[in-house]
Amino acid sequence: MSGFDWPALMRAGMRGLGLAPDAFWRLTPAELALLLGQGSGTRPLGRARLEELERLYGGQERTKCDE
């Protein structure tokens, strides 16, 4: 079992969003989820970006609660 409810996804994509079948099948699951309003479309903040922001804007001292 793939874990995807293909009939429901096809209805949402083709009926709900008005996608042509070829456009629907070219989408990745992540792209379809974004079009359906799931997720923010941005990646979660990673360690490297957090460290960059701390360098740019200064970080506060971490407390035991932050760990």
In a domain, 39, yes or no: yes
pLDDT at 1: 45
In a domain, 33, yes or no: yes
In a domain, 1, yes or no: no
Structural domain for 55, as ranges:
6-66
* pLDDT at 7 exceeding the cut of 70: yes
pLDDT at 50: 86
Contacts of 4 (CB under 8 A, 6+ apart): 29
* pLDDT at 67 exceeding the cut of 60: no
**For residue 17, how many other CB atoms are within 10 A of its CB?**
14
Domain count, the chain: 1
pLDDT tens across 8-60, in order? 999 999 999 999 999 999 999 888 988 988 876 677 788 998 888 888 888 66
Distance, in Å, from the CA atom of 18 to the CA atom of 35, rounded to the nearest integer, reads 11
